[in-house]
Amino acid sequence: MAAIIGHELAHFSGGDTEYSLRFLPIYAGVGRSLDAVALAGMGADGSHSLLTRPALQLGVFVMDQFHHAVRHWSRLREFAADAAGAKATSADAAARALLRTAAAYPRIDETLGSSFRAPDAAPPDLVAATLQHAAERGLDDPAGHLEETQPHPTDTHPPTRQRLSSLDREPSPALLAEAATPPPREALSRLGAYFADPEPLCRAATADFLGSARAEAREVH
């Protein structure tokens, strides 16, 4: 936990959040412009007009080049944040956090996904439900996720294997086995070490999540 918190705080202290806030509107603005050009030049059969096609292709090229540059710096900042998390704890702790996150993510995704699709049948505390689901089904073998990137709203994370290498750590069998250990029975009670009153926070976060799910369901309907 300390390694993960150290990693995220490093993004704040390093100015990465300000960087994302500046560039995210550029992404959104260029995307809207490309959509407008594509829509303006689209015929009834779905084909693009010869008049707008060059502008559309140029815009896509510019977007790709911009994304390539942003991705380069994002990867460097991610390695720096990993190093900060390791400095606050240890390289071993940071490596375990990376692998355990990869091993636990499928259980988190399954719990949140099913709850989002059926919010009225979801439990009132999705944190507790996720832990229970992970304890019953177990975690994934993190060895199968070494080449994956962790999900992030605006940036592209380097693959887990590269992040381990930057910490000078290898995914040894012992480290992989430790990361795949199911959560212990007292996992939920451990939240009391990080929050003064965790249960209301978990239920409030769950209510916000399910509220978003219900709002989207109404819009789709």
* DSSP 3-state percent helix, strand, coil across the chain (nearest 5): 75, 0, 25
The domain locations on the chain are 1-89, 90-221
Q: How far apart are CA 110 and CA 138, in angstroms?
A: 13
Model pLDDT for residues 105-142, shown as the tens digit of each residue: 999 999 999 999 999 999 999 999 999 999 999 999 98
Model pLDDT for residues 144-182, shown as the tens digit of each residue: 888 776 655 445 578 888 999 999 999 899 989 998 999
